[in-house]
Structure 1
Amino acid sequence: METVTAADGTEIAVEHDGDGPPLIALHGSAATGESLQPIVSQLAADYTVTVPDRRGRGASGDGDDYSLNREVADLQALVDAVDGEPVVLAHSFGGLVALAAAPTVDISRLILYEPAVTVGESADPPLSAQVRSLADEGSDTEAMRLFFEAGSGIPDVTAMPWWPEQINMDWVETVIRELEAVETFELPALDFETPTLLLTGEHGPRHLAEGARAVVDAHQESRLIDIEDVGHLGLLSEPEHVAELVTTFVDDPAAVGQ
């Protein structure tokens, strides 16, 4: 595993797979780059895929202060470290990072799977406060369960084969700070020209589908595809289908979406 030094000096761990044009894949909350292996293994046939552990996760470091802008700067450092303008494929909170970076970072194509963009009325109290309350009571497991079920639309996370063994409960603090970033993010005017594909799952959370539609409505270079019979983790459950959509869109953005 290599590292890329972010603007604030934080070391961001990255792995590379495949041989071809550059593609950067950003994971979501409560995960590391390893979680994207199903889709990465598909895309590595056509691209050199760079997969970081976002700050505060896995083998990456973390700074004293956190903000969405720090994550945007991390993506800028990753883009600077590859050869040419990369495609960026991003999931969930990684999708919010990539969307926030798009106006200032040189990206050839942007593919966002259910980016963590919310529109309309917020929960009261906000999800970040609900998760924080459980964590403060000493129940990190219940806090993470609430995050997955309310934030990702998973009806019963305890039924998932990866729960709880593959979840690091110590990440509850990074989950809370990312929820706070989602809750304070306001969708700006999206006047960047990067062709952008929004992907949603038929069974994904409604609030993320609404956010994806808001991005498409605000950005004239965006297109949207709703993938049947999958939820928020469609990148992992249907990697062949998603990889096919990615490669088709990269070759000809007009060939997919609506």
Structure 2
Amino acid sequence: MRKVVSRDGTAVAYAKAGDGPPLVLLPGAFRDHTVFTYMLPYLTGLTTYCYDRRGRGRSGDAPDYAVEREIEDLVAVIEECGGEAAVFGGSTGAVLALEAAMAGAPISRLTLLEPPYRLPGEQLPDADLATRLTGLVARGRRGDAAALFLAQAAGLDQPGIEAWRNGPMWEQSEAFAHTLAYDAAICGDFRLPAERLARLSVPTLVVSSDSTSAWLAASAAATAAAIPDGHHAVLPGVWHRVPAETIGPAIAAFVLAG
């Protein structure tokens, strides 16, 4: 993997592939750049930049976290693309992509998968979620931190959490548990920032799965509706995921349409 140095001196590792206009891919919670391995063959006509967010994989970290540092990481990768790029973000990575765009990052187009915003009337995660996550990790309770995040941020019930715990993602979930507070901080109070999104001028495609949770589907639709040049697409998939062979071509078509 290649590396670029972010503004605060943190090394950010990324992998570059393909040929065409640049697309930077942002993973959500629990994930590193490898989550996009199966999507890359379907992003034809694009040069992809997949990176490990700080604290994960081969990227570095810093003692003090701030959402602004993650935005600077993304901007550093975009500078490697030539100064402007389209961006795809999944889940909390979608929220980070939106925060970067609203902060003025040089993003030409946004493609997003199910940002986990809550709409009015829906239960919000606890206000001290990030603090609780940090405390659990500090006490060596990484599995408990992962379970807390899944319950509060992802909205999973106990059977869903147990299924995750017994699945192939659990080892990585525990390994990246120290970054869950980062994702919680990125999401803030988890409310849909409709007024801020209304000032966003970047063309945006928000994708949701036809088999996801009702609140995630509603969030995707509301996010697209709040953005002046926002578009919503419902694609065949499962909970909080659309297969690579389905979402990849949709992303490529939207990016190349610009």
Same-fold call, TM cutoff 0.5:
yes
Query: Is the alpha carbon distance of 1:54 and 1:75 closer, same or farther for their aligned partners in structure 2, counting shifts above 3 Å?
Result: same
Query: What code does the residue aligned with 2:95 have?
Result: L
Q: Is the 8 A contact 2:127 2:189 kept in 1?
A: no
Asked if 1:164 corresponds to 2:166, the answer is no
Q: Please, what TM-score do these two structures have when normalized by structure 1?
A: 0.84
Equivalent positions of 1:104-183 (< 5 A) are: 104-120=104-120, 121-124=123-126, 127-128=129-130, 131=133, 135=137, 138-148=140-150, 150-152=152-154, 155=160, 156-160=163-167, 162-165=168-171, 167-183=172-188
Deviations 1:10-69 (A, max 9, x none): 1101111112211111111111101111112321x3211001100111100112221222
Cα offset for 1:108?
A: 1.9
Q: Is the 8 A contact 1:113 1:198 kept in 2?
A: yes
Report percent identity of matched pairs: 30
Asked if 1:225 corresponds to 2:233, the answer is yes
Work out which of the residue numbers 204, 213, 216 in structure 2 matches 1:208.
216
Cα offset for 1:177?
A: 3.1
Deviations 1:190-225 (A, max 9, x none): 223211000112333444333323322221100111
Query: What code does the residue aligned with 2:145 have?
Result: A
Cα offset for 1:116?
A: 3.5
Query: Is the alpha carbon distance of 1:135 and 1:71 closer, same or farther for their aligned partners in structure 2, counting shifts above 3 Å?
Result: closer
Cα offset for 1:228?
A: 2.8
Report which stretch shifted further, 69-78 or 202-211: 202-211
Report the counterpart of residue 50 of structure 2 in structure 1: 51
After superposition, the CA RMSD in angstroms is: 2.5
Asked if 1:74 corresponds to 2:80, the answer is no
Query: What code does the residue aligned with 2:226 have?
Result: A
Q: Is the 8 A contact 1:4 1:13 kept in 2?
A: yes
Report the counterpart of residue 245 of structure 1 in structure 2: 250
Structure 1 portions without partners, runs of 5+: 254-258
Query: Is the alpha carbon distance of 1:205 and 1:251 closer, same or farther for their aligned partners in structure 2, counting shifts above 3 Å?
Result: same
Cα offset for 1:247?
A: 2.1
Query: Is the alpha carbon distance of 1:251 and 1:138 closer, same or farther for their aligned partners in structure 2, counting shifts above 3 Å?
Result: closer
SS of residue matched to 2:37 = helix
SS of residue matched to 1:243 = helix
Q: Is the 8 A contact 1:198 1:225 kept in 2?
A: yes
Query: What code does the residue aligned with 1:118 have?
Result: R
Report which stretch shifted further, 203-212 or 125-134: 125-134
SS of residue matched to 2:38 = helix
User: Following the alignment from structure 2 to structure 1, what is the Cα–Cα distance between the partners of residues 223 and 20?
Assistant: 29
Query: What code does the residue aligned with 2:182 have?
Result: R
Query: What code does the residue aligned with 2:87 have?
Result: V
Report the counterpart of residue 196 of structure 2 in structure 1: 189
Report the counterpart of residue 207 of structure 2 in structure 1: 199
Q: Please, what TM-score do these two structures have when normalized by structure 2?
A: 0.84
Cα offset for 1:125?
A: 6.7
